[in-house]
Amino acid sequence: MTILLYTCIFIILLIALGVYRIHLQISYLSGHLSYRMSICPWARFLNFEFYKENAVHFFGIQLARKEIYTKRVLINSKNRTQKKTGHPQKRSFKRGRFYRCFLKRFRYRFYPVVRNAIRSFRFRSLDLKGNMGFKTPAVTGIVFGWVQSLQYLFSEKVSIDLKPDFTQQKSEYSLNLELQCILFILLWRTILSVLNTGWIYLKCKVL
């Protein structure tokens, strides 16, 4: 019994404190978008995948690079109609006052929340290839210059082979992004951000 308890504690610590690798593949060809995101906690021994094939979303689990579980994920967007009740002007006034209060208090804490979320991940590599063209040549040039600047900032970890198309509005690309994070740190910072946002929500709700 003691050995089983220590084994469970070791597994929990390994899951919480282990380094997770996140690999994201996105391709947009001929107007069709496909993706594959894999989350690997144990040196590619255990792998969780979310991907899209033939306009169908899937979730899968790989063990030692062998598929052991696959499930189709249904994503439906339902239009929900809200029932109208009495005093619409009064409710609209209260809702507007709540939103103003929430945005006023949250704007000072937005950047720390975003900064903590970004700091939870460690950037490993980025590979971007394809062609891009936007509505006007000016927009295409601005976006192309901004994207190219990433390669100069992270020359060792970023590889960009992107060609601008100034004649037509058409984009085709493939992106490979690899990150890593420690689950415990990410969860801890997420919980603190949620509690902070919830406290602001309650304070504005009471006012």
Geometric angle at alpha carbon 101, from 99 and 107, rounded to 5° = 95
Are the beta carbons of 18 and 182 closer than 8 angstroms? Answer: yes
* pTM of the predicted model as reported, rounded to 2 decimal places: 0.65
Residue 157: how many CB atoms within 10 A of its CB?
14
Tell me how long the chain is: 207
Provide the residue ranges of all domains of the chain, joining segments of one domain with +.
19-75, 97-120+184-207, 121-175
In this structure, of 6-10, 13-17, 143-147, the range with the lowest mean pLDDT score is 13-17
Residue 93 has pLDDT above 60, yes or no: no
Mean pLDDT for 178-187 is: 83
Residue pLDDT, tens place only, 29-73: 877 888 888 888 766 677 888 888 877 889 988 887 788 888 888
Are the beta carbons of 72 and 90 closer than 8 angstroms? Answer: no
The pLDDT of residue 92 = 63
Are the beta carbons of 22 and 179 closer than 8 angstroms? Answer: yes
Are the beta carbons of 178 and 146 closer than 8 angstroms? Answer: no
- Written as six digits, the tokens of 97 are 């006052």
State the pLDDT confidence band at 81, using cuts at 50, 70 and 90.
Answer: very low
- Written as six digits, the tokens of 175 are 């992106």
Query: What phi, psi does 90 have (nearest 5°)?
Result: -65, -40
Question: 3-class SS at 134?
Answer: coil
Are the beta carbons of 143 and 201 closer than 8 angstroms? Answer: no
* 3-state secondary structure string across 159-202: EEEEEECCCCCCCEEEEEEEEEEEHHHHHHHHHHHHHHHHHHHH
